[in-house]
Amino acid sequence: MFHNKDSDTLDIWFGNPEDEVICEEAGEGIIFKKDKNGKVIGIEKLYVSKSVGFSKTIPVEVVVA
């Protein structure tokens, strides 16, 4: 997960971000990020601070088991 305060977006990746070749708007400020096979490898939420009501960068720790 990555919150970009400058662009006010939150990215959540399920795969390698470098594999992104297609972006598809799903509505309500949600973007699906897809690989060359059309598999969703990430989701981007636009205008995240307005949507969830925060204005500071959120520290996130991701643990992969």
Nearest by Cα to 37 from 24, 22, 15: 22
The pTM of the full predicted model, rounded to 2 decimals, is 0.74
The per-residue DSSP string of 17-62 comes to GGG--EEEEEETTEEEEE-TTS-EEEEEEESHHHHHT--SPPP---
Q: Where are the domains of the chain?
A: 2-52
Indicate the average pLDDT of the chain.
85
pLDDT of residue 56: 59
